[in-house]
Structure 1
């Protein structure tokens, strides 16, 4: 017979969806709401897949058994309800699901922000070198921030509960020129986002970070440890 634990989870999940209301198409979900929705869908779908693929010896469970037929019908109905629920979610919510799923490869409960249809993971608990920060981003199929606008940085720094934080950017200086690694674009030395008197023309092998208190770019040794943000 089916594992009793699966049956209990299946019943609870089916009851929850059956009693639920359609999600308003225009709502703005919070991060906590998104996490809850993501885990409900993920747990229900995983349970359905386990139940639907579960096989027992024919002596214990026959294909013609009425209980088995009823359970199969329930599983199929639940699968259809899940598909309807997923389709009812606005694209912005589905994007959050994808972001959370990706960035959970870095942190169990990732802190994310959405800005102009892109998602950003904020490594609040990490202080890493530039290279190690980029490595963490790559675990989630992302990269460090590239050419962020002042508006984006304002949004990201609101996530921090203290001042004085620094965030790595995905740009560095090699062979005398600062470039964005993502697209190879040369970074203008006269860009207004640089702090005064920066970048330093005589210093090589340095990486770029943003200082929270000034919202300006600075160059410094890539071995320094700072917070980081991954862009996806």
Structure 2
């Protein structure tokens, strides 16, 4: 009976030992499963949070870039506005400067015109003062035209001029030629070749410069023509005998 009891006890202990080992295994397995499940959850949470962080950074980066763009555009706008304002100031200054210059120009022009008029009056006055009574001023010279119908030889005409402290007219410019041509009809001028045939000289001793203002075919010295007359129609010259009687023009240099 004791032996049977011992066998029962041993069998019970063996069963208890097997049950304990099985329980421990299941507990270990359950713990392992729980650990794996927890790790999976943790990894999942980490992955979700990481994605959220990553996705959350994109709007923030975009916002920062937009803010930088707006800042740069604002700076550019301000710079352009300042440049525009400066250009307006420069344009205003230039306009004022132009107005000042225009005013100065108008003043100078008015002064110039007044001075020119004063000079003209002074020249006229000077010519009037330079020319004795009965003589006409022209280009700072004085002229005398013989009376209408009066006529003298070339020598007598010159004598009359010398008595007036003048001499027969010397023509050296186109303006002077036109002036003399309009004074009277056929008239003596102070040109001759009495000293040397073909050597035309003015009464002041100077030689005729250039070809002169002769009529076509003149001078031809037909009949000892040593003195020169001027035609009133065209101002052309012609050599005629010095003894011919014509009107004359005197000139005071």
- Taking structure 2 as the reference length, the TM-score comes to 0.46
Larger radius of gyration: 2
Normalized per residue, the structure richer in strand is 1
- Taking structure 1 as the reference length, the TM-score comes to 0.50
